[in-house]
Amino acid sequence: MAKTRWYKDAIIYQIYPRSFCDSNGDGIGDIRGIISKLDYLKELGINCVWLSPCYKSPNDDNGYDISNYRDIMDEFGTLEDWQEMIDGMHARGIRLIMDLVVNHTSDEHEWFKQARSSKDNPYRDYYIWHKGKGKDGRKPPNNWTSRFTGSAWEYDEKTGEFYLHLFSKKQPDLNWDNPKVRQEVIDICNYWFEKGVDGFRCDVITYISKDKNFPDGKFNPAICGDEHFVIGPHYHEYIHELNEKSWSLYDSLTVGEAQGITIDNAFDAVDESREELDCVFTFEHQTQVDSFLTTVPKKFSLVKWKKIFSSWQSLPETCWNSLYIENHDYPRSLPRYGKLKYRVKVAKMLAISINFLRGTPYIYQGQEIGMTNFANLKRKDYKDIVSIKIYDTVKKFLPVFLPIVKWALNKKARDHARAPMQWNSEPNAGFTTGKPWMAVNPNYVDINVEQAMEDKNGIWHFYKQLNEFRKGNEIIRNGTYKQYYPKDRNVWMYEREYEGKKYVVIASYTDKEVQFVVPQELKGKESKLVMSNYADCVKTLSDVTLRPYEAMVYAL
Ligand code: NOJ
């Protein structure tokens, strides 16, 4: 099927179902809760939803451990609910992409239950097994680490071998070198396509092919072995096969979560001629700030940030970008890039800087109202397997470091972004009438959807306006990108140009006043302010003292 590449005009809203909206009072978000908010999403002006996993799962990693790919998690509802949800989305002009989590399954998936039952079970080779080292064969086969800490190998008593798990031990890695496994994945994709989904967000997709010699990785106590399985030996071949046998048969979007894909190898991963993924979520801009895989947060550098975005913007026209600064794996963006004293200004400034770039923008639930981190996240609030593992391991083996770990988790735990959506100022932020599965951020009294929708000058209306502005806008969709002042540590200035028309974007990333000077080549050109985060910004492109986090866009 010829692809329309509809995603180039999409604005995608990510729903983390567990925390979005609870319809039945059990404290857990669910599909009927999503259905009840479809008009809300329509009004915000998004036209596609990425739904984090909603399949059957024992929830070791909140649904990223799937025990049945063809059915819905009990807490979330039924396949009938799901069908009603997608029909409701489509009726409102909203597409749906689902999470495809196929680097690993749950250990409670029937395939794994079979696989671990005996060495000659037909499903044994669906997973990656290896003999252990040492006299008794009880030492892991190599030094690879799980991205969730500790060895990536788990000894299985019954059959006396280790299996590989790059995430938790309840998430065994599938063996993609087995053609039957690849066929299963193709069948799963086609099953959901036939039910009407419009594409997939492909979880840790760059991990699927491993070096089967299993060499030790370069020493790194936190993440070891990457060089042997990130974009491994058959990665491109397997993705191409999936594209050929499934993704290309539907007018779909496939966006890969792509550790290891940098500007240097992006072309091979996403150029249209490759017939692999349509685009990726690069980690480059996120990891230069911090990453959930490394414990201590890093200092933000605007110069590096601009360099990364600018290089991705300069990819050939046949490559497409994904624009995101938030998702369920990072703390909220606002405290990372600005001072909370200026919450609304920072949120709008970030929205401007990112949404005028070339690519498909993503809004993570709550970003549209400027949700923030917890002020003080405590052990009892951790629900994420990663926070719990890090904290408990350090407490057990290196308790002197506990204060540092608490401090680091308070800044960067994934729990921050997974807190229930703040709908109104009623108890539990209107998320549930029961006891929420995790703590609600107490600031919901001031930051919530109801309040945000009433404030015409607030963040919510700003996103709505931006979403409207982007629709059908050829300069934003197709224009070239040029950066000004790349070395400036406070201001990001860039220009988008299409058929002689331009937008010039100026965004200050500091709470200090800074002087902005119009570049020589733009001086004296006719210009008009089209968007800004202060009501009284100068109406034409001029030399100006920028106020804290001031951002504006001029049409030239
Ligand atoms: C990436 C997902 O975004 C994250 O939430 C999950 O823990 C890992 N993949 C493992 O599936």
Residue-level pLDDT at 474: 97
Question: Is pLDDT at 292 greater than 50 in this prediction?
Answer: no
Q: φ, ψ for residue 241 (rounded to 5)?
A: -65, -40
Among 270, 259, 197, which residue's Cα sits nearest to residue 51?
Answer: 197
Superfamily of domain 6-103+175-468: Glycosidases (3.20.20.80)
The CATH number of 478-555 is: 2.60.40.1180
**Is-contact 230 254, C-beta < 8 A?**
no
Q: What distance in angstroms lies between residue 450's CA and the mean position of ligand 1's atoms? A: 31
Q: Is 204 in the pocket of ligand 1 (CB under 6 A)?
A: yes
Question: Is pLDDT at 297 greater than 70 in this prediction?
Answer: no
Query: From the DSSP assignment, how many helices (H) and strands (E) are in the chain?
Result: 17, 20
**Is-contact 107 171, C-beta < 8 A?**
yes
Question: Is pLDDT at 30 greater than 70 in this prediction?
Answer: yes
489-to-301, 304, 313, 550 alpha-carbon distances in Å: 7, 9, 19, 15
Q: What distance in angstroms lies between residue 526's CA and the mean position of ligand 1's atoms? A: 48
pLDDT in tens, 312-356: 999 999 999 999 999 999 999 998 899 999 999 999 999 999 999
Question: Is pLDDT at 65 greater than 90 in this prediction?
Answer: yes
The encoded tokens of residue 86 equal 């997608």
Ligand 1 atom with minimal separation from the 167 CA: 10
Q: Is 174 in the pocket of ligand 1 (CB under 6 A)?
A: no
Question: Is pLDDT at 6 greater than 70 in this prediction?
Answer: yes
Q: How confident is the model at residue 293 (pLDDT cuts 50, 70, 90)?
A: very low
pLDDT in tens, 102-143: 999 999 999 999 999 999 999 999 999 999 999 999 999 999
Question: Is pLDDT at 294 greater than 80 in this prediction?
Answer: no
Question: Is pLDDT at 290 greater than 90 in this prediction?
Answer: no
Domain ranges of the chain: 6-103+175-468, 478-555
pLDDT in tens, 497-547: 999 999 999 999 999 999 999 999 999 999 999 999 999 999 999 999 999
**Is-contact 402 395, C-beta < 8 A?**
yes
Q: Is 384 in the pocket of ligand 1 (CB under 6 A)?
A: no
Q: Is 507 in the pocket of ligand 1 (CB under 6 A)?
A: no
The encoded tokens of residue 285 equal 């801009």
Residue-level pLDDT at 223: 87
Residue of the CA atom closest to atom 5 of ligand 1? 329
Active site residues: 203, 257
Q: How confident is the model at residue 289 (pLDDT cuts 50, 70, 90)?
A: low
Cβ neighbours for 149, distance < 8 A, ≥ 6 positions apart: 222, 386, 389, 390, 393
Across the range 88-95, mean pLDDT stands at 98
Residue-level pLDDT at 295: 54
Residue-level pLDDT at 427: 97
Residue to mutate (ligand 1; options 14, 57, 171, 204; most atoms within 8 A of CB)? 204
- Distance in angstroms (rounded) separating the CA atoms of residues 510 and 464: 25
Q: How confident is the model at residue 278 (pLDDT cuts 50, 70, 90)?
A: very high
Mean pLDDT, rounded, of the chain: 96
Q: Is 408 in the pocket of ligand 1 (CB under 6 A)?
A: no
Q: How many CB atoms lie within 10 A of CB 219?
A: 7
Question: Is pLDDT at 453 greater than 90 in this prediction?
Answer: yes
Q: How confident is the model at residue 296 (pLDDT cuts 50, 70, 90)?
A: low
133-to-143, 160, 237 alpha-carbon distances in Å: 11, 12, 31
Across the range 293-310, mean pLDDT stands at 82
